[in-house]
Amino acid sequence: VVLIRSRKVGLVNRLVQLAILAYVIGWVFVWEKGYQETDSVVSSVTTKVKGITLTNTSSLGTRIWDVADYVIPPQGENSVFVMTNVILTLNQMQGRCPELPDDTTICTAKEDCAPGYVGTHSNGIQTGECVLYNSSIKTCEIFAWCPVENDSYIPKPAFLQEAENFTILVKNNIWYPKFNFTKRNILPTINSTYLKNCIYDSQTDPFCPIFRLGKIVEAAGQNFQEMAVEGGVMGLQINWDCNLDRAASHCVPRYSFRRLDSKDSAHNVSPGYNFRFAKYYKDQNGTESRTLAKAYGIRFDIIVFGKAGKFDIIPTMINIGSGLALFGVATVLCDIVVLYFMKKRYYYREKKYKYVEDYELVSS
């Protein structure tokens, strides 16, 4: 190996070393905090929704809707469903009635109906009779909860339009087991008076744990009244990225919002979010009836993520050692540049390597 004195070679070597030094200090230690031990968050979430609205319809009359009516179920695991629209079928009782008309249920005679037949979308079991559905259409008779639900028309605007003014209180407790660090999103600086009056705002109240439903949807770039008609799924994200080398007061939650279900106009088959439930009754004679509800609404999923870091000598020494080892790469990179990319690469190659002839010793 021949030592070559050249300003260009020395400059290349220094530039490579500076780049490695910048990577180790800037990226590994400053940006990625390579001197810290890290841990992932363990979290628990509880929610509480508040809000009352009034509806006045021909089928239900004047009615008040409170939390017990539109939050289903009352408690969920890291999520809460708020009903915003509904199709109600009142006073259903088990008996015989005509099926809803479609390609498989419309009939003209008894022979068109098969006793005991149950289709994928049937509301009951066919009896084998063909009966009048209305004055112009006949359908197969079924044994079912009658009258059957007709969900061909979804109420527009949404039945509970005022749901955008409802609020949700999110209580989140987090724990970093490696550092035995715990905290909750109701910060020590928040008192009961403030909690009763605050509503989350990213500018004025970024740490208030009470969220207006309409604002959550709006912050995700969606229109609440449009989403309320057929429902959807919203994500309320809580990020706990904490540097535990600083005071605990600096470890605070950061909130963000996004729509989780797909809203693609080109693929809009079975959009939104809905399910059915029923409330059952018995009269004095023991006759059972029910009210069937097809509920459309918004499910709010609370997603908690984050990590914490704290100084530890072991990752610090490992990253320092790795950084020092990288300086050995400087010589290799310098050789590559000098021997393959510089104008005088042939001259440097002749000086770096000494070529000898290969011959065999012939024995006498």
Q: What residues does each domain of the chain span?
A: 7-35+312-352, 38-99+148-308
Peptide bond into 157 cis (omega under 30): yes
Question: Which positions ≥6 away from 77 have C-beta within 8 Å?
Answer: none
Contact criterion met (CB below 8 Å) for 154 and 173: no
Q: What mean pLDDT do residues 182-196 have?
A: 93
Cα gap 44→80, rounded to integer Å:
14
Is pLDDT of 338 > 60? yes
Beta strand extents in 240-306 (DSSP E only): 242-243, 254-259, 274-282, 288-305
Residue ranges of the binding site for ATP? 48-50, 167, 274-276, 294
SS3 298: strand
Cα gap 13→360, rounded to integer Å:
40
Q: What mean pLDDT do residues 141-148 have?
A: 95
Q: Which ranges in the chain belong to alpha helices (H)?
A: 7-22, 67-70, 192-197, 213-219, 224-230, 313-340, 345-352
Can you read off the two tokens belonging to residue 253?
Answer: 């939650």
Q: What would the pLDDT profile of 177-187 be if each residue is shown by its tens digit?
A: 999 999 999 99
Q: How confident is the model at residue 355 (pLDDT cuts 50, 70, 90)?
A: low
Q: What mean pLDDT do residues 152-169 have?
A: 93
Cα gap 297→273, rounded to integer Å:
6
SS3 276: strand
Q: Are strands 53-57 and 61-65 parallel, antiparallel or unpaired?
A: antiparallel
Q: What would the pLDDT profile of 94-122 be if each residue is shown by its tens digit?
A: 999 999 999 889 999 999 999 999 988 89
Contact criterion met (CB below 8 Å) for 133 and 139: yes
Which of 155, 153, 150 has its CA nearest to residue 98?
A: 150
The number of CA neighbours under 13 Å toward the Cβ of 231 is: 22
Total-model pTM = 0.80
What Rg do the C-alpha atoms of the chain give, in angstroms? Answer: 35
The structure tokens 């979430």 sit at 45
SS3 11: helix
Top CATH class of 38-99+148-308 equals: mainly beta
Question: Residue 152 phi/psi, 5° resolution?
Answer: -70, -20
Cα gap 105→17, rounded to integer Å:
80
β-bridge mates for residue 311, sequence order: 36
Q: What mean pLDDT do residues 277-286 have?
A: 92
Cα gap 133→141, rounded to integer Å:
9
Cα gap 143→192, rounded to integer Å:
56
Q: How confident is the model at residue 2 (pLDDT cuts 50, 70, 90)?
A: very low
Residue ranges of the binding site? 48-50, 167, 274-276, 294
Contact criterion met (CB below 8 Å) for 233 and 298: yes
Q: What angle do CA 203, 218, 167 make, to 5 degrees?
A: 80
Is pLDDT of 224 > 50? yes
One-character DSSP codes across 109-139? SGGGS-TT---TT-SSEEEEEEEESSSS-EE
> In the prediction, which pLDDT does 254 show?
96
Give the CATH H-level superfamily of domain 7-35+312-352: atp-gated p2x4 ion channel (1.10.287.940)
Cα gap 166→184, rounded to integer Å:
23
Lowest mean pLDDT among 50-59, 212-221, 235-244: 50-59
Q: What mean pLDDT do residues 143-170 have?
A: 93
Is pLDDT of 26 > 90? no
> In the prediction, which pLDDT does 3 show?
45
Is pLDDT of 210 > 90? yes
Q: What would the pLDDT profile of 293-316 be if each residue is shown by its tens digit?
A: 999 999 999 999 999 998 888 888
